[in-house]
Amino acid sequence: MKNHKQQLRVGNILHHIGFGTCKVLGIYNDGNIHICNIKDNDKQHLVLEQFSYRLEEVPITFDLLINAGFKDLSHDNNKMGCRIEVNSSDELCWYRQDNRLRYQTKSNGFTRDFNIKYVHQLQNLYFALTGGELVFSEA
């Protein structure tokens, strides 16, 4: 994961080679990153010196979106694979045909596409839109 430290925030999900799927617990001024293994009930912790090449982005998959609370729309035979409401009038939609995340309003049809490929980017966008964390039932 090169030059993506500025995209990280506490709570982001990443993959550490040798440590597994992890969550960022802290980002320090000296460049160290505190992570924990999320498969082990946060019992295993690790502080990485500087920004480690051993960290990798976790690609967005349909299953991860469903685990994050997106509603499965694949049975509707439309372009959209799944969606989640961000408020009463707006939603984030993942379009399976072009693997694209789109913000859209229900009332006036405004849309905006986002070039988001990784879970930490989705978490950051969701937080920016809602002020809340995207909660995964499984990671």
pLDDT in tens, 84-137: 999 989 999 998 778 889 999 988 888 999 999 999 999 999 999 999 999 888
Within 8 A by CB and 6+ apart from 76, the residues are: none
Q: Residue 139: its pLDDT value, please? A: 47
The torsion angles phi and psi of 63, rounded to 5 degrees, stand at -60, -40
Say if CB 57 and CB 4 are below 8 A apart: yes
Q: Rounded distance, CA 24 to CA 35, Å?
A: 5
User: Distance between alpha carbon 32 and the CA centroid of its chain, in Å?
Assistant: 21
Q: Residue 127: its pLDDT value, please? A: 95
Q: Residue 45: its pLDDT value, please? A: 78
Q: What value does the mean pLDDT take over residues 18-28?
A: 86
Task: Give the pLDDT confidence of 30-79 residue by residue, as tens digits.
Answer: 878 888 887 766 567 778 765 566 788 999 999 999 999 999 987 766 66
The torsion angles phi and psi of 79, rounded to 5 degrees, stand at -70, -25
Quickly list H helices, the chain. Answer: 62-67, 119-130
Q: Residue 56: its pLDDT value, please? A: 87
Q: What is the pTM of this model?
A: 0.84
Q: Residue 58: its pLDDT value, please? A: 92
Tokens of 39: 């498969």
With DSSP H G I counted as helix, E B as strand and the rest as coil, what are the percentages for the chain, rounded to 5? 20, 35, 45
Q: Residue 1: its pLDDT value, please? A: 58
Q: Which of 24, 11, 30, 25 is nearest to 55 (CA)?
A: 24
